[in-house]
Amino acid sequence: MGNMTMRYLFAVALVSLTSIRAGAQDPAGYLKSEADRVGVVERIRPATVAVFARGGQGGGTGVVISDDGYALTNFHVVQPTGPTPQCGLPDGVLYDAVLVGIDKVGDVALIKLIGKKEGQKFPYVQLGDSDLVHEGDWAIAMGNPFLLATDFTPTVTFGLVSGVHRYQYPAGLFLEYTDCIQVDTSINPGNSGGPLFNMKGELIGINGRGSFDKRGRVNSGVGYAISINQIKNFLGHLRAGLAADHASLGALVTTQTDRNGLGRMSITQILEDSDVARRGVDFEDELISFAGRHITSVNHYRNVLGIYPRGWRVPLEYKHDKAKKEVLVRLMGVQKKELPVQAVDDGLPKPEPQPKPAPDKERPMPIPGKGPKAPGPSGAGAKFYQAKEGFANFYFNRLERDRLLAAFKVHGDFSGVAGDWIIEGAVRLKKLRTESKTKIEILEIKEGKSSKSLVKLNIDQYPYELEPLKTSQDPVALKMPETSGGLLAALYLYHTLLTQGAKGFTEINHGGNEPFYPPAIEGKTPSLGALRVDCEVLNSRHGPLLAKWYFSLADKKLLGFEVRTQDNEDPCEVYFADYRPIAGRQLPHRMQVLYGDGHYGTFTLENFNLK
């Protein structure tokens, strides 16, 4: 039998087999799949928001993520609306809204719809897990393309996820899309800020930018959505009314090729005053993993770094002189420490030049700071807006701060014992490796008509003493005892927080959510990632002392805090454990103190005399 005959018979068999399989498929299966898809659309459509400036100018899209009206959108959508946009839902009702928090670098904003009556509940969608999204998955987008939704009913498009973990260059410092989702689901100007769903109806991303045809701003099948897992990292910041910032490492990472042609991620530049340098990472060290992800390229590194907020601590694994090490690194920021809200553009993509063009010639979004000035607050949302430098909306920061402090107070009201505290116990100092008796005194000393605060620490008859608020004080005194980083000052602030709350500080603000890493139990060496506990954070200032307080997300118990006198330095780290009731109040009976890369000591607290 010749080759031609064999090929013919094989082709016939293949066609026959394909026909049999196609015929065997149940048409009812197709109908059910279609019905399920339509059902998902009907379920999620009511939460899609048409976002406008007051009076209907400009606009974009958003999506409600909670029944009390919080909604996600793009920063470049709310940039021209001012702090009080208006939002239409598919129920045909136009609602007043207020800006809550912004992430300029990541192009995300959180707004809140104002109900027509007190306690109104809004339709909302569930947040998905964007790390489970793969190329080839189906995706549904909803939005307001070309602002066609005059009745607030969104357009629905359906397509494939064509790429994950994509990187899109920023416009200057802003609108950087890291680790984003690429889709061929139709996205056009006006869809910005709208939701991208998986087939379960879970929110997996916020649509923001696209690569458009040269002849006009029309869909070209290449759209980009900010992954919902990145947004989750910033959601605590956004709810707290912050103008969030993204992370930088303080080091330059590049790909270098060795003699065998193998690539390695190498540290080629490093800032001397960065935390990564203080942790021992040096020039030409090899970067192995960052935040639990193995790093294989510069693009991969930028993607991972870009999904984290400034100030977070994340595990970094590196190799120095062939020795592998893992350290916790405090991340620096991209923007200046405080950046006021700037003037805005019209919120839709425009063909402006980009400092570093992406390979696909993508059209950049409007650059913050250009265009007409945004309108001021007005309408029903105006009473929920409070301007303050460094914040998107300080009203919500105050709201979140007071909520957290009230939840913390459930563990004990210390306002009635705001006098002198004397705590006795034992401490095992690392440098001595033996247990010693200790006594802590936090006192208020009367001097005529005035008084002064005084903190005393006695360890086996070795006394330490500090006036934490003494003016013109030698900064070295605030770091006592030696190698603790400032435990005496930290104890004073702890007493202040418990007994006076917010009013005891010069300034105290909600800092969003952050990971917290309690020290490992002695004898165990888990990975740093395994130690992580997610917390709500308060940032405080009192005199020369800066503090960051970590409260468990689960029960709002204070797990620990850090104290420093300057932003860019190692703090005194205090970790609490073994909470027990004392006169109806929960107090920790174990306190660990760390400073830099060293463990100062572990305190066992036994007797509490609170006046």
- The residues annotated as belonging to the active site are 76, 107, 192
Q: Estimate to the nearest angstrom the gap between the alpha carbon of 12 and the chain centroid.
A: 58
DSSP 8-state symbol, 246? B
Q: CA 364, CA 343: separation in Å to the nearest integer?
A: 17
Q: CA 119, CA 135: separation in Å to the nearest integer?
A: 41
Q: CA 475, CA 468: separation in Å to the nearest integer?
A: 10
Residue 51 φ/ψ, nearest 5 degrees = -105, 130
Q: Which of 353, 393, 396, 5 is nearest to 169 (CA)?
A: 353
Residue 567 φ/ψ, nearest 5 degrees = -60, -50
Residue 60 and residue 75 in contact, taking contact as beta carbons nearer than 8 Å: no
One-letter amino acid of 544? P
Q: CA 250, CA 270: separation in Å to the nearest integer?
A: 6
Q: Which of 330, 248, 306 is nearest to 548 (CA)?
A: 330
Q: Which of 354, 76, 39, 320 is nearest to 190 (CA)?
A: 76
Residue 419 CB neighbours (<10 A): 12
Q: CA 579, CA 566: separation in Å to the nearest integer?
A: 30
β-partners of residue 323 are: 320
Q: CA 113, CA 91: separation in Å to the nearest integer?
A: 14
Q: CA 521, CA 368: separation in Å to the nearest integer?
A: 48
Residue 418 and residue 587 in contact, taking contact as beta carbons nearer than 8 Å: no
Q: CA 574, CA 317: separation in Å to the nearest integer?
A: 24
Q: Cis omega before residue 519 (within 30°)?
A: no
Q: Which of 177, 210, 209 is nearest to 193 (CA)?
A: 209
Q: CA 277, CA 391: separation in Å to the nearest integer?
A: 30
Q: CA 73, CA 532: separation in Å to the nearest integer?
A: 29
Q: CA 115, CA 384: separation in Å to the nearest integer?
A: 13
Residue 607 φ/ψ, nearest 5 degrees = -110, 125
Residue 197 and residue 133 in contact, taking contact as beta carbons nearer than 8 Å: no
Residue 344 and residue 365 in contact, taking contact as beta carbons nearer than 8 Å: no
Tell me the CA distances in angstroms from 504 to 70, 99, 541, one per residue in order: 31, 29, 10
DSSP 8-state symbol, 171? B
Residue 396 and residue 239 in contact, taking contact as beta carbons nearer than 8 Å: yes
Q: Which of 495, 503, 493 is nearest to 421 (CA)?
A: 495
Residue 349 and residue 326 in contact, taking contact as beta carbons nearer than 8 Å: no
